[in-house]
Amino acid sequence: MKFGILGAGSWGCAFANLLVENGHDVLVWARRKEVVDEINNYSKNSYLPNVKLNFKATNDLNEIIEFSEFLVIAIPVQFIRDVIKNIKVWNIKGILNLSKGIENKTLKRVSEIIEEFTNTPYSILSGPSHAEEVANKIPTAVTVSGSNAKLFQSLISNDYFRVYTSEDITGVEIAGALKNVMAIAAGILDGLGGWDNSKAALMTRALHEMIKFGKIFGADEKTFFGLPGVGDLMVTCNSSHSRNRMFGELIAKGTTLNELIKNNKMIAEGIYTVKAVVEIAKKKNIEMPIANEVYEILYNNKNPKYSMVELMRRPLKKEWLI
């Protein structure tokens, strides 16, 4: 099959290599010419510096569409609209989304953004899948949901990358978006002291918030106990590869949000998604204490230690009421 991939970041490139290894033809689109030149001339990318890339890249969006049978989205959620609005003809068999987040200005999930431009069959792939490990062929398991889920499962799975299917697009999208917010909170805890008890409590209650949020939109609670939910939450809250966790840790140690954005080429989706999550929670009257504190720390310069105390002093209740 022919796959066109929008986005030449670490995940887009790792996924491209995976597809090539599975025997597919792959072309990757990158916004910046220097990224395309680096891939085409040297078979490498600064996002994955120690990995040989086995595909070609282009800056031409039309070339990607003409080439592709399937289009893979691997660009930050806040920029998806600005890219796909330039696609004039959607003569492809399906879309596979790898990006995790909620668009700030519309409060829409990726599937809802795509629906504005095309009725091409949509699927999403999500789960604990850091690009650095996939690129090095470390055993990984993920979930795909959508119209072409079984087809993508067969096209993508191999000896080190196992794909399960799900019928819950909404749950998979929401779990992937919210776990990034919760990973920032986990990073903040790491920056404050890295306490095991606190991290375990945080992750458990983070899952509770994710389920509450998802059920408002009709998501299946079981999805959050699978790879897109607790699986991705575990790896993103604990891994040294997690940008969201790392950003949270640096914030707790005194780096400002503006400094983080300015000094990092790679984007931590959670710093943008938290804005949308808090706004939606207010509109839908969803209690999201962890997400709210992350927002206050990032955007109102609240002292993380005060946030921790306020979370601990919330009204006492039974566990796991949704």
Q: Which of 104, 137, 167 is the last residue of a domain?
A: 167
Q: Are residues 135 and 228 in the same domain?
A: no
CB 224 within 8 A of CB 175: yes
Q: Give 290-319 pLDDT, tens digit per residue.
A: 999 999 999 999 999 999 999 999 999 999
pLDDT at 321 over 70: no
Q: Which of 124, 144, 146, 142 is nearest to 133 (CA)?
A: 142
Q: Are residues 162 and 174 in the same domain?
A: no
Query: 321 in a domain, yes or no?
Result: no
Q: Give 10-28 pLDDT, tens digit per residue.
A: 999 999 999 999 999 999 9
CB 189 within 8 A of CB 198: yes
* Domain region containing 277: 170-313
Query: 319 in a domain, yes or no?
Result: no
Quote the number of domains for the chain.
Answer: 2
Q: What rounded mean pLDDT belongs to the chain?
A: 96
Q: Are residues 259 and 147 in the same domain?
A: no
Q: Return the active site residues.
A: 179
Q: Give 155-168 pLDDT, tens digit per residue.
A: 999 999 999 999 99
Residue 199: CATH number of its domain: 1.10.1040.10
Strands 70-73 and 2-6, by their bridges, are parallel
Q: Are residues 89 and 35 in the same domain?
A: yes
87 annotated as ligand-binding: no
245 annotated as ligand-binding: no
Residue 138: CATH number of its domain: 3.40.50.720
Q: Is 221 exposed, middle or buried (0-12, 13-18, 19+ CB in 10 A)?
A: middle
Q: Distance between CA atoms of 271 and 228, rounded to whole angstroms?
A: 19
Q: Give 230-279 pLDDT, tens digit per residue.
A: 999 999 999 999 999 999 999 999 999 999 988 887 789 999 999 999 99
Q: Give 164-222 pLDDT, tens digit per residue.
A: 999 999 999 999 999 999 999 999 999 999 999 999 999 999 999 999 999 999 999 99
When pLDDT is averaged across residues 65-88 and rounded to a whole number, the result is: 96
Model pLDDT, residue 320: 74
Distances (CA, A) of 65 to 74, 188, 198, 234, 255: 15, 41, 47, 36, 41
Q: Which of 151, 167, 183 is the last residue of a domain?
A: 167
Model pLDDT, residue 277: 98
8 annotated as ligand-binding: yes
Q: Which of 167, 202, 237 is the last residue of a domain?
A: 167
164 annotated as ligand-binding: no
List phi, psi (to 5°) of 67: -75, -35
Show the beta-strand stretches assigned E in 20-126. 25-29, 56-58, 70-73, 94-97, 122-126
205 annotated as ligand-binding: no
